[in-house]
Structure 1
Amino acid sequence: MRKNIKITAGVAATAALALGLTACGTASDPSSKDGAASADKPLVIGATPTPQADILNFVKDNLAEKAGLKLEVKEFTDYVLPNTATDAGQIDANYFQHQPYLDDFNKKKGTDLTSVATVHLEPLGIYSKKVHALKDIKAGQTVAVPNDTTNEGRALHLLADNGLITLKKGVGTDASLADITDKKGLEFKELDAATVPRALNDVDAAVINGNFAIGAKLQPAKDALVLEKAEGNPYANIVVVKKGNEKDARVTKLVELLHSPEVKKFIEDHYDGAVVPAFGTTAK
C-alpha cells in the first residue's frame, strides 16, 4: 500500500519533531555511520501534492522497487516547510520549487540547499471566473498574485508580457508591485501562492501556479486565459538536497528514474500540457 503523509503548517512543529526522532538514515542523521546515508535506507522526499507527489508516487509504485530504490514520499502543502525540513536533515530531499525560488529562499533564510536536477515545468497562468478573455480585464478590477518574491515577479512578468501592466525596463525575476510603472488602473491582491485559487470568486483575475491550479480542479490548458511559454523558461521544477548530499546514490537513482521514458509518458498522458517534461541535470 502506498504511504503518503500530508503535512500542513498547523502540524509543522509536531511533524518536524516526529521526523527528527525517526531514524530516516539521512545524510545529516547523526546515527548514520560516518555521516553517510546508507544506500539501503529509504530516500525520504518532500513534495507538494500535485503534480510533484503524483509523479514521485508513480515512480514509487512502478519503477523504484525494480531499480532497488526504497522511496518514501511526504506531502507538504506550503512552500517553506519542505526546504526547512531538508536543511534540518528531517527529510533527504524535496521536489516542489524552481531555481529562482530556491536561490531567494537560501538568501533570505540562510539555508544551504542545492538543486541536482530539473524534472518538469508547470506554466504559470492567468485565470478568471468573471471574464472570458484578457482584453476584458479593465481598469478598476482586481488581480490576485502570489506574494513570495520569485513567484510574484514571475506573475508580474506574465501580466506585462500580455499588456496588462508595464514594468520598469530591465527588472528581473524579483520584480515587485513597486516595479510597475503603469498599473493601467488595476488593483492587486497579494496572497500566499497556495491560497490564490480560493480567491478566484473574490477577484476579477488571478495568476496561479500550475500545481495549485491543478489541485483546485482547474485545467490549465483549457481554463487559463493565457499560460507561460515553455521555451527558454527558467522556472522548471527541481529536485533539491542539502549541499553536500548531491552524490547520495539514492538521489542519483531517483533522478535517473524521474528522467526515464516512463515518467515522460506519465507526465504527457496525465496533464494535457499543464505540466511538461523538462529533464536536465543542475548539480555542478
Structure 2
Amino acid sequence: MRKNTQLTVFAATTAALALALTACGTASDPGAKSDSGKADASKPLVVAASPTPHADILNFVKKNLAEKAGLKLEVKEFTDYVLPNTATEQGQVDANYFQHKPYLDDFNKKNKTHIVPVVNVHLEPLGLYSKKVESVKDIKAGQTVAVPNDTTNEGRALKLLADNGLITLKAGVGSDAKLSDITDKKGLEFKELEAATVPRALDSVDAAVINGNYAIEADLNPAEDSLAVEKAEGNPYANFLAVKQGNENDPRVQKLAKLLNSPEVKKYIEDTYKNGAVIPAFGPAK
C-alpha cells in the first residue's frame, strides 16, 4: 500500500484530537451542527480521502472539472478509517470520502461524532483472496482466514464467507455479525486485523477478506483475482462524500457532490477500474 508521507504532521495532530474526542465523549456535542452559512466559498474545499480509488477520483475532478465549476478543491490522503472522520468532526478538513453507511453509523455511535452522508459515488466489492489456494472449495479445516477487525467490515466479511459456504452464521445476523455469531467454523481459524493491513497478511494466512480500496492498492482486482466477491446488486456499501452535520448545504460541497455524480466521473471510474473493481453507484446518500 502507498505510504502517506505528506500528512505525517497533520495526521499526528488529528490523532491527538481523536484521542481527546474518544476520552471525553462529549467534546463535539456543543454546537454539533455547523453553520454552513458562514462557509467562505472562496476558500478551497479540503477533502480527506483514502488514496485509491477515492483520492484518485477526487484528483480527476480537481484536474478536469473543478475549475470550470468554480470550485477550488484540495485533497488530503489518509490510509486509515479513523482519522478522516475525526478530522472532519474537528474541522481540520471540510469533508471526507472513504466510507459506507454501516461503517459511518457505527463510528458516529461509538465516537459521538456528527458526520452525515451527502452523495453516493461508488461501490468497491469486498473480495476473498489467497496466494495458497485456487478456489473456495480448496479452503479446508485447519486453515486460517484473515478478516477486517472493525465492526461493519468484519460483519460484511463474515457474510461473504457464509454466502460461499465456508462458515455458518446464526440466523438473522446481518452486517453486525461477529466471530461469536459463527455457529459452525468448519474447522477454520480466523485472524482479525485492521482493514488496511489485511493485504500484507496474504503471505502468512491461507486466505483473506480484503476491502476493495485496499485490494486495488495491493494490485488485486476483485473481479479477476478473488476467490469470491460481493454482488453489486442491492449492496448497501456504496462509498459517499460526507461532511459534519450542518455543512451539507455549503455551496462548495454541493458543487463537489454534483461533479462526483457527473457523466465524466462515471466514465473515469469505468475506464480506470476495469472488470468491476470499482462500480459507479450514484445518487443521494441516506
What's the counterpart of residue 157 of structure 1? 159
C-alpha distance after superposition, 1:42-78 (max 9, x if no partner) = 0000000000000000000000001100000000010
SS of the residue aligned with 1:218?
Answer: coil
Count of aligned residue pairs for this structure pair: 267
SS of the residue aligned with 1:154?
Answer: helix
Match of 1:219 among 214, 218, 221: 221
Report if the CA contact (8 A) 1:7-1:15 is conserved: no
Written as runs of structure 1 = structure 2, the 5 A alignment for 1:1-284 is 6-7=6-7, 12-14=11-13, 36-272=38-274, 273-282=276-285
Identical amino acids, percent of aligned pairs: 75
Give the Å deviation of 1:33.
9.7
Letter in 1 for 2:134: H
Letter in 2 for 1:152: E
SS of the residue aligned with 2:99?
Answer: strand
TM-score by length of 2: 0.89
Report if the CA contact (8 A) 2:124-2:211 is conserved: yes
TM-score by length of 1: 0.90
Unaligned 5+ residue runs, structure 1? 18-31
Mapped to 2, the partners of 1:33 and 1:124 lie a distance apart of: 37
C-alpha distance after superposition, 1:126-183 (max 9, x if no partner) = 0000000000000000000000000000000000001000000000211000000000
C-alpha distance after superposition, 1:216-256 (max 9, x if no partner) = 11122111111100000000001110001111111110010
Mapped to 1, the partners of 2:105 and 2:124 lie a distance apart of: 19
Mapped to 1, the partners of 2:241 and 2:97 lie a distance apart of: 5
Mapped to 2, the partners of 1:144 and 1:6 lie a distance apart of: 30
Letter in 2 for 1:261: P
What's the counterpart of residue 26 of structure 1? none
| Shift >6 Å, 4+ stretches | 32-35
Report if the CA contact (8 A) 1:121-1:277 is conserved: yes
Mapped to 2, the partners of 1:134 and 1:266 lie a distance apart of: 32
Mapped to 1, the partners of 2:226 and 2:251 lie a distance apart of: 40
Residues 112 and 218 of structure 1: is their aligned pair in 2 closer, same or farther, counting only changes over 3 Å? same
Residues 6 and 15 of structure 1: is their aligned pair in 2 closer, same or farther, counting only changes over 3 Å? farther
Report if the CA contact (8 A) 2:199-2:215 is conserved: yes
Give the Å deviation of 1:14.
3.6
Letter in 2 for 1:13: A
Mapped to 1, the partners of 2:54 and 2:205 lie a distance apart of: 28
Mapped to 2, the partners of 1:165 and 1:213 lie a distance apart of: 23
Report if the CA contact (8 A) 2:36-2:248 is conserved: no
SS of the residue aligned with 1:266?
Answer: helix
Residues 245 and 187 of structure 1: is their aligned pair in 2 closer, same or farther, counting only changes over 3 Å? same
> What RMSD in Å do the two structures reach over aligned CA positions?
2.1
Mapped to 2, the partners of 1:146 and 1:15 lie a distance apart of: 23
Residues 145 and 6 of structure 1: is their aligned pair in 2 closer, same or farther, counting only changes over 3 Å? farther
Give the Å deviation of 1:7.
3.2
Mapped to 2, the partners of 1:143 and 1:178 lie a distance apart of: 15
Mapped to 1, the partners of 2:14 and 2:61 lie a distance apart of: 24
SS of the residue aligned with 1:114?
Answer: strand
